[in-house]
Amino acid sequence: MNRTVKRFKAGDKITIEELAYTLDHSLLNPSITVDQLKDGCKLARENDCVSVCVRPSDLPIVVEELAETDVLPTTVIGFPHGTATTESKVFETKDAIKKGAVEVDMVMNFARFLSGEYDYVEDEIKQVVDVSHESDVKVKVIFENHYLTTEQIKKACQIAEKAGADFVKTSTGYAPSGAKIEDLNTMRENVSDNVEVKAAGGVRDLDQALEVLGTGTVRIGTSGSKKILEDAKDRLKEGKLVIPDESV
């Protein structure tokens, strides 16, 4: 299947297939069972979601469930607090790649970032990026924006891009707040065209998803993929899917 990344803007029409290709179906809740993992993979397969993002120990199951499909097996590194050692994050990344991950979402050590230890943060991201890129694996860096000011989000964007990250990402979904439109706009404006933006945390319905995509964000991490896609199919019966104009 020929699928390309597309950045949307206000007024753009979007198809069900394009919408599904923005969804990283998230299966990260600590209580998710093996049966629920398999059900989530089935949902992603049937709807051609871009990926399924799971806990590291679940990768072998998910890789098997997604075999011979275009859905990407993805996992998290240093999740959800980002406070594992750099050595642990690098090992976790190597192990994830060995088990079949083709993208990793690493949590920035935002406590060190808030302490002003920018060199530490950049070096850690770069070490994970270097190991990943050796195997053509993409890296998304999670900032956990709830704890950051706008200026700090800008700084984090600069650090992540300098370290070679492929994506910058808003949240783990486990902080008190998740993806915010103003933060997504800030992130898109403060990385180059070589870096993409991913939203995560609190995007659970179609209207939220379309608003997020209007910022130029190309990925949405969500456990609400089923509802988003069902709502999209219902709306298509009435007309078309359109990215809203946030200024209206």
Q: Tell me the pLDDT tens digit for each residue of 26-72.
A: 999 999 999 999 999 999 999 999 999 999 999 999 999 999 999 99
Is residue 41 one of the residues assigned to a domain?
yes
Q: Would you please indicate which residues are annotated as catalytic (active-site) residues?
A: 105, 169, 198
The answer, yes or no, to whether residue 193 has pLDDT greater than 80, is yes
- Domain of residue 187, CATH code: 3.20.20.70
Is residue 10 one of the residues assigned to a domain?
no
Phi, psi of 105 (to 5 degrees): -110, 100
The per-residue pLDDT for 244 is 93
Is residue 182 one of the residues assigned to a domain?
yes
Query: Over the chain, what is the mean pLDDT?
Result: 96
- The span from the CA of 242 to the CA of 66, in Å, is 30
The per-residue pLDDT for 248 is 35
Q: Which domain holds residue 221?
A: 16-238
Report the domain count for the chain: 1
Is residue 8 one of the residues assigned to a domain?
no
The per-residue pLDDT for 245 is 83
b/e map 90-114, b = 16+ CB within 10 Å: bebbeebbebbbbbbbbbbbbebbe
Residue ranges with strand state E in the chain = 23-27, 51-54, 72-77, 103-107, 138-142, 167-169, 196-200, 219-222
The answer, yes or no, to whether residue 84 has pLDDT greater than 70, is yes
The answer, yes or no, to whether residue 1 has pLDDT greater than 60, is no
The per-residue pLDDT for 191 is 98
Is residue 160 one of the residues assigned to a domain?
yes
The per-residue pLDDT for 247 is 43
The pLDDT tens digits of the residues spanning 104-151 come to 999 999 999 999 999 999 999 999 999 999 999 999 999 999 999 999
The answer, yes or no, to whether residue 2 has pLDDT greater than 90, is no
Residue at 32: amino acid letter: I
Residue at 171: amino acid letter: S
Reported as a pLDDT band with limits 50, 70 and 90, residue 83 is very high
DSSP, collapsed to helix, strand or coil, labels residue 29 as coil
Report cis status (omega within 30 of 0) of the bond before 80. yes
- The span from the CA of 211 to the CA of 217, in Å, is 10
- The span from the CA of 81 to the CA of 215, in Å, is 26
Is residue 122 one of the residues assigned to a domain?
yes
Is residue 178 one of the residues assigned to a domain?
yes
pTM: predicted TM-score of the whole model, two decimal places? 0.96
The answer, yes or no, to whether residue 8 has pLDDT greater than 50, is yes
The per-residue pLDDT for 81 is 97
- Surface-to-core class of residue 23, CB atoms within 10 Å of its CB (0-12 exposed, 13-18 middle, 19+ buried): buried
Is residue 129 one of the residues assigned to a domain?
yes
